[in-house]
Amino acid sequence: MRLLGAHLSIAGGVSKSIERGVSLGCAAIQIFTGFSNRWHSKPIPDEQLCAFRQQRDRLKVIFAHNNYLINLASPEPVISSRSYESMLEEMERAQALGLPYLVIHPGSHLGRGEEEGLRAVAQHLNSLFADTRGSCLRILLETTAGQGSNLGYRFEHLAKIISSVHSPERVGICFDTCHVFAAGYDLRTQQGYEKTFLEFDRLIGTSAIFAFHLNDSKYELGSRKDRHEHIGQGLLGMEAFRLLLNDERFAHVPMVIETPKGKGGFSGGLSEDKRNLAVLRSLIITEAFPSLPDESL
Ligand code: MN
Ligand code: MN
Ligand code: ZN
């Protein structure tokens, strides 16, 4: 069984995301626990927490994604501290929901340089872990496409942050296929796929991957542009997803789509997700017969 799913809306209350996930046949979902484009969101009201907890077990894995404003690598003191406060709120909401992971983008250095930026991210993470001692929420650093001054488009960046964090059990990686491809790592052929994961394994370790974002890419290999495309309809193509969905190393790692939601409001969005998930499921090679135990030979 593969832990396939989608990024889903919490409109109408956070437990609604579970209902949407169930209706799509998801095993895993990713959610924003507040506004995706604001610094501040209120704590989740008790009755919503309650409804969420009651429905929680209908899915295998539910995890969160940060709001888009947070930049832990910012050289601006005001933005830096606002990002820190906003991160604490994100962590508290994820914790209140009992979620295992919170995905974040490493951040943009905005001219201060990559090394300085990476150092700032690690320092912030160390303080955040100290400020949330006792929590087992794991922060997943997302691989990025490397647009502008975004950090995290080289596996070395992520390795550097992880090695600078004092609580390795509280960090991990979210591997985004569109971003990695746009950053210049080829996944389109078996050879490219193996080379990319060999490199990843050498620098970080594939066991540090706790989530995948499955997205095709509108732009070419190494374009450094972050534009998602429907599965199999972009320049990454179907083979990368086939390899990933049949890679035993990732059999228990949640994989969610962040593909375009399409027009037609929310119902339109769900039908697009449904189609992309069906495409992905069709790539999973299932054994027709269970293999015989060794002693029967
Ligand atoms: Mn992301
Ligand atoms: Mn992503
Ligand atoms: Zn993206």
DSSP string, 243-254: HHHT-GGGTTS-
Per-residue model confidence (pLDDT) at position 291:
60
As averages over each run of 10 residues, the pLDDT of the chain (297 residues) reads 95 97 98 98 97 98 98 98 98 98 98 98 98 97 98 98 98 98 98 98 98 98 98 98 98 97 65 97 82 56
CA of 152 to the centre of ligand 3 (A): 12
Read off the pTM.
0.95
Per-residue model confidence (pLDDT) at position 252:
97
Per-residue model confidence (pLDDT) at position 270:
87
Per-residue model confidence (pLDDT) at position 268:
55
What letter does residue 143 receive in the DSSP assignment?
A: P
Fold designation for 4-282: TIM Barrel (3.20.20)
CA of 82 to the centre of ligand 1 (A): 19
Burial class (CB in 10 A: 0-12, 13-18, 19+), 282: exposed
Per-residue model confidence (pLDDT) at position 10:
97
CA of 226 to the centre of ligand 1 (A): 10
CA of 212 to the centre of ligand 2 (A): 8
Q: How far is Cα 196 from Cα 31, in angstroms, rounded to an integer?
A: 28
CA of 293 to the centre of ligand 2 (A): 40
CA of 179 to the centre of ligand 3 (A): 6
CA of 53 to the centre of ligand 2 (A): 26
CA of 93 to the centre of ligand 2 (A): 20
**pLDDT digit string (tens) for 11-21?**
999 999 999 99
Per-residue model confidence (pLDDT) at position 292:
61
> Residue ranges per domain, the chain?
4-282
